[in-house]
Structures are given as C-alpha cells and as structure tokens.
C-alpha cells in the first residue's frame, strides 16, 4: 500500500494558523470530525490523545510530531497533516532519548486508528519518520501550495507501507557488540557505561559467535557446585565473585559467552514474542547473511508495539 493513499487531501492543513502543538492537534481533529462526524467524537478522541501524550512524547529529532489515539469500536485509519505557518517550539518530550530538546515542529501528523491496527500504524510511522529525515522532501512538503501537491510529494517519493510487522521494524540498529577476544573487564565496563542488559559477541569478521547477558556474568561468578547444591547460604562472603573480579583482566569473553540464538530480519514480531514467552529469553540478535544488523528486546515490543 502506498503511503500517499492513506493521506486524504481534505485533511492536509497548510499554512495553519497555530503556534502550539495543542493548537495544531485541535485544528487537525476538527478537520477529521468535520469529515467523519459519525465515526469520530471530538471530546472522546481528545481525551485519548491526552492520555497517550502523558505516557510519553510525540516529537522526533527530525522536526515532526506524531500524536495518535487508538479508539474503541473504530475500524478506520485516519491521518491528518498540519503544517503551521511557522515551526512550533514545544516542550513536548522527544521520542529519541538522546534528543534532550526537541527541535521546532515543522509538520504534525495526527493519526487515529483502531486498537488492532498496530502493524499499519508502525509501518506508517516508520515511513513518516523516514520522510522527515529527507530535507528535500520536508522542504517540498512545507512549501506545498495545495493539499494535492502535498500528497503528490509523498506519492513521488514512493513510500510503501507494508502489511506485516517484522523485527526489523522495531529492532535497535545501534547495536553495541563486543569481540570474543575481549576481557571480562572490558565487557563489564561496556555494560556498566552503556547500561546494557545484553551484548552480542562477534569475531574479527563481525560475524555473530555468541551472546552475553547480565545473568550470564553473574552465573560466571558462581561455582558449578553451587548449582548442584542449590544454595550458597553457607557462604558469608562474596568469595566466588571476588575471585572472578580478581581475574577479570585474564578471563576472555569467549570462555563465558553463551551460544547465540539469532533470528532473521524477516521474522515476524508475533513469532519472536512467542519465542520470548516460551523460552523466557529477553533479547534476540538479528542476523542477515551472517552479519549482525540489530537486536530486538522484549521492551521493544512493549514500547514500539503494545504502547507505540
């Protein structure tokens, strides 16, 4: 499905006389309720939008905001585009945690969807964000002289919204990996500094050869006999852990890493969610042609699917 087919020119508000994000949302919602008076109730939807905004920000570092609401007894997917006369300076939180101050908002994309439209929503979101990172497209959209021209810019870019949701749609691409020849000290430092719970292990060629979670590190500090006994209550001190730390410069990651359980980029999100639940595994490395391209975690499913 082409992204342009999801955008109704009647819901493209150019040169909108709004100077706040609230004002842009109100203008967009009024346009939607005028076009869909039976399906969309202004007060109800505004309440849903406010609830979702309280959960987290709607702004992106690329200068767009995408407020949205999931509605009960609603079987449609509606997008309104609001282009303010001047970029909106807002204190709305930025989706990207690395972005402390959201840049001025150049386009507000207001989306209303059913409670079962996660797939189309996330794939639409991905394409809108992709478009916002292309300055030529953003300039053409903000300078469009008519709604039809606005939609034609999107159409000309050729963005296609997929019908299925796969791990590459939600995975973290900015992966921190460690080589199998690294020492325990080095991997502990990385985990501590980056606040990680999981680290893929690669060889010199960049191929995935193992994985290491925080629990694996703790397990490395507990002697095998403890697992056979089932308790360490008889030990008053952290002797095993102390011994581990004393040798952290000598122990190589390759000696304590676990066998990797990679998944492919085309793995569906529901499939990986099932495997996580069944195997109590919280992270999966995503591999393509033997190369590590990302990591998907259980929290990615929570933040990007269940509460996207």
* Calpha distance 137→154 (Å, rounded): 8
Of 59-68, 181-190, 267-276, the one with minimum mean pLDDT is 267-276
**Predicted confidence band at 2 (pLDDT cuts at 50, 70, 90)?**
very high
For the cut 70, the answer to whether the pLDDT of residue 222 exceeds it is: no
For the cut 90, the answer to whether the pLDDT of residue 12 exceeds it is: yes
Domains in the chain, ordered, with CATH? 3-163 (3.40.930.10), 178-306 (3.10.580.10)
SS (H, E, C) 34-63: HHCCCCCCHHHHHHHHHHHHHHCCCEECCC
pLDDT tens digits, 124-147: 988 998 999 999 999 999 999 999
Percent of the chain with pLDDT over 70: 90
CA nearest neighbour of 99 among 128, 58, 156: 58
Rg for the chain (alpha carbons), in Å?
24
Mean per-residue pLDDT, 202-231 = 78
pTM recorded for the entire structure = 0.66
Residues in the chain: 308
- 217 versus 267: the higher-pLDDT residue is 267
Mean pLDDT taken over the chain? 88
Mean per-residue pLDDT, 74-90 = 94
* Calpha distance 182→52 (Å, rounded): 43
For the cut 70, the answer to whether the pLDDT of residue 265 exceeds it is: yes
Residues 6+ positions from 261 with CB-CB distance below 8 Å: 211, 281, 284, 285
pLDDT of residue 239: 59
**Predicted confidence band at 74 (pLDDT cuts at 50, 70, 90)?**
confident
């Amino acid at each position: 499905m082409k992204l342009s087919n999801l955008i109704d020119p009647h819901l493209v508000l150019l040169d909108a006389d709004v100077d706040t994000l609230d004002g842009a949302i109100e203008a967009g919602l009024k346009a939607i309720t005028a076009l869909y008076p039976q399906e969309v109730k202004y007060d109800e939807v505004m309440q849903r939008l406010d609830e979702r905004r309280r959960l987290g920000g709607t702004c992106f570092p690329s200068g767009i905001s995408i407020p949205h609401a999931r509605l009960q007894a609603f079987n449609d997917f509606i997008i309104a585009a609001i282009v303010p006369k001047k970029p909106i300076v807002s204190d709305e939180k930025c989706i990207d945690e690395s972005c402390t101050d959201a840049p001025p908002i150049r386009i507000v994309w207001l989306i209303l969807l059913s409670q079962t439209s996660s797939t189309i929503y996330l794939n639409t979101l991905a394409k809108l964000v992709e478009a916002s990172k292309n300055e030529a497209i953003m300039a053409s959209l903000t300078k469009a002289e008519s709604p039809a021209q606005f939609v034609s810019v999107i159409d000309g870019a050729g963005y296609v919204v997929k019908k299925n949701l796969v791990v590459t749609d939600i995975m973290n691409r900015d992966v921190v990996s460690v080589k199998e020849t690294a020492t325990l000290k080095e991997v502990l430092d990385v985990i501590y500094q980056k606040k990680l719970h999981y680290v893929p292990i690669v060889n010199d060629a960049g191929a995935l050869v193992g994985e290491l979670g925080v629990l694996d590190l703790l397990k490395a500090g507990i002697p095998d006999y403890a697992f056979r006994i089932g308790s360490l209550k008889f030990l008053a001190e952290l002797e095993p852990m102390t011994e581990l730390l004393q040798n952290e410069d000598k122990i190589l990651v390759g000696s304590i890493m676990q066998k990797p359980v990679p998944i492919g980029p085309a793995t569906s999100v529901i499939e990986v969610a099932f495997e996580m639940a069944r195997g109590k595994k919280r992270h999966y490395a995503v591999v393509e042609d033997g190369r590590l391209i990302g990591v998907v975690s259980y929290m990615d499913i929570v933040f990007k699917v269940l509460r996207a």
